[in-house]
Amino acid sequence: MTLVRMREKVFRRGGLFAFLTQNLDRVGNTLRLARLVRRENAKLVHFNDHRAFWSGVLGARLGGAKVVLNVRDTLRPGSSPWKSRVALRLCDVFLVLSREMAERWTESLRPTTSDRRQAAKIKYIYSIVDLKRFRPVTHEQREALRDRLGIPKSACVVAYVGSFHYKKLQEAFIRNTIPALVSRVSRAHVYFVGDFDPVSNPFAEKCTDAVVELKLENHVTFFGYIPSPEDFYQAADIIALASEREGLPRCMIEAIACGTPVAAFDVCSVREILEGWQCGEAVDSNNYEALAAALSVPAQDPARADIWRKNGPAVAAKLFDADRNVKAHMELFQRIVDDASTNPRT
């Protein structure tokens, strides 16, 4: 196995210079990867990122290798799928992260996927979670974590884990869900865990302003970055997710591995995991009142929350185990290579 770093400058602003420089980089990557594939007699190139794919797919093809594209998200609402349709035709396997994600991409890429040969390229293998790191803790360990993190003992803790970005919709969550949650559970406290810099990030500043405007300071803490997010997964009563879109939300699968339930909008993969395996609740996207009700379950229906907590780690062990999913990748790659040997390109 050879790891290849695709060299390509990224420009936040467009213009002719940026366009020319980026595409010159891509030409260089194409030639470099084609030479490498031929020299190493590589049968397969796995692109782990869409930018790497567009920077190197022609080189992989020129070198004679099969191509796997890993896709980790879904389309932005209102965006055109034409580029993804082209990617599907250029790759041999369009690899996604869940069954529901495969179904959504198949639907999004019609009419291309009306061709069964193209639709058959869309396959899924679940993500990997480090089950030694993300695991349940005892009641005593949980209380110790809360003490260390400065969490009041009486608080019903909701954690929202993720960087501050418009895709994650934290501002709308603050304005529409937290007041409804507090009206249901007066001891609710929401901790936002992840990169938070209101000085350099205008969206983070908007979130801060919303908390002040709604007088929610006693119910919201912007905790910021933490190198061990599992501490909050293990300390929280429930995890919130109100994103605009996702592929397979990492905060969801890491949380349930820790035995902490999740309440989320029904972005991709959420119903499949939370409702399919009874380890949390999915509500219709943009239904902030329903999300508040789901986040209230640990305080208002502890027996139901206990079922979610019990089911989560078993689901994670079944679906997200590293050994199982590494083996699934290797078996997929071997099938692709075997197919390349028995059915060479003409």
Check whether 12 has a pLDDT greater than 60: no
What per-residue confidence (pLDDT) applies to 6? 59
Could you tell me if 270 and 249 are in contact, meaning their C-beta atoms sit under 8 angstroms apart? yes
Segment 12-28 mean pLDDT: 67
Q: Is the pLDDT of residue 346 over 50?
A: no
Span 179-217, pLDDT tens digits: 999 999 999 999 999 999 999 999 999 999 999 999 999
What pLDDT does 11 receive?
43
Q: How far is Cα 161 from Cα 101, in angstroms, rounded to an integer?
A: 21
Average pLDDT over residues 216-234: 95
Domain at 139-320: CATH code: 3.40.50.2000
What backbone torsions phi and psi does residue 207 show, to the nearest 5 degrees?
-65, -40
H helices then E strands: how many in the chain? Answer: 16, 10
- Provide the CATH number for the domain formed by 16-126+323-342 in this structure: 3.40.50.2000
Show the tokens assigned to 284.
Answer: 């219709």
Q: Model confidence over 43-66: pLDDT tens digits? A: 999 999 888 898 889 999 999 999
Quote the percentage of the chain above a pLDDT of 70: 91
Mean pLDDT, all residues of the chain: 92
- Predicted pLDDT at 107: 96
Domain ranges of the chain: 16-126+323-342, 139-320
- In this model, does residue 149 exceed pLDDT 60? yes
Evaluate whether 16-126+323-342 and 139-320 have a shared fold: yes
Encoded tokens for 325: 């999913």
Q: What share of the chain is helix, strand, coil (3-state, %, to 5)?
A: 50, 15, 35
104 pLDDT above the threshold of 90: yes
Model confidence, pTM: 0.90
What are the backbone dihedrals phi and psi of residue 265, each rounded to the nearest 5 degrees, phi first? Answer: -65, 155
Percent of the chain with pLDDT over 90: 83
Taking only the tens place, the pLDDT of each residue in 277-307 is 999 999 999 999 999 999 999 999 999 999 9
Flag whether pLDDT at 110 surpasses 70. yes
